[in-house]
Amino acid sequence: MSIKEYQQDLSAFVKERGWSEFQNPVNLTLALVGEVGELTEMIQWKSPEEARAKMEDENFRQQFSHEIADILNYLLRLSDCCGIDIMHAAREKLALNIAKYPADKVYGKAVKYTEIE
Q: What is the tens place of the pLDDT at every residue in 68-107?
A: 999 999 999 999 999 999 999 999 999 999 999 999 888 9
Q: Is the pLDDT of residue 47 over 80?
A: yes
How much is the pLDDT for 26? 97
What is the torsional sign of CA 72, 65, 44, 51?
A: negative
pTM > 0.75: yes or no: yes
Write the pLDDT tens digit of every residue in 48-68. 999 999 999 999 999 999 999
Using only C-alpha atoms, the chain has a radius of gyration, in whole angstroms, of 18
Write the DSSP string, 16-64.
Answer: HTT-GGG-SHHHHHHHHHHHHHHHHHHHTT--HHHHHHHTTSHHHHHHH
Report the alpha-carbon distance of residue 30 to residue 47 in Å, rounded: 28
Cβ atoms < 10 Å from Cβ of 21: 8
Average pLDDT score over residue span 24-33: 97
- Phi then psi for residue 57, to 5 deg, are -80, 115
Report the alpha-carbon distance of residue 63 to residue 85 in Å, rounded: 29
Closest CA to 27 of 74, 96, 95: 74
Report the alpha-carbon distance of residue 31 to residue 28 in Å, rounded: 5
